[in-house]
Amino acid sequence: MGIGGCIALIGVGAILTFATDWHSDSVNLDLVGLIMMAVGIIGIATFTSIARRRRAVVAPTVVQQDDRRGF
């Protein structure tokens, strides 16, 4: 899941939690919305940490040669 999917989860979860007033006996939409927002936040944190590791620049190693030829 990319960053767009995570943002979509957060948005849909916020809509379910804060913008709806449906009441159902079998499903608690507030809890479903909170779970979706939590999953979206965890997804963004995971995505950014993986992307940061991929972009890490490793310093090149410098090999110095010995110019003395044993004379």
pTM of the entire structure? 0.69
Instruction: State the amino acid at position 13 in one-letter form.
Output: G
Looking at the structure of the chain, the number of domains it has is 1
Q: What is the pLDDT of residues 21-60, one digit of tens each?
A: 888 889 999 999 999 999 999 999 999 888 777 765 667 7
Higher pLDDT, 64 or 30: 30
Q: What pLDDT score does 35 carry?
A: 96
Tokens standing for residue 42: 């965890």
Q: What is the pLDDT of residues 1-19, one digit of tens each?
A: 788 999 999 999 999 999 9
Q: Residue 66 falls within a domain, yes or no?
A: no
Q: Residue 34 falls within a domain, yes or no?
A: yes
Give which of 37, 55, 33, 34 is closest to 45, Cα–Cα: 37
Q: Residue 20 falls within a domain, yes or no?
A: yes
Residue range(s) defining the domain that contains residue 13: 3-52
* Residues contacting 48, CB < 8 A, separation 6+: 3
Q: What pLDDT score does 50 carry?
A: 86
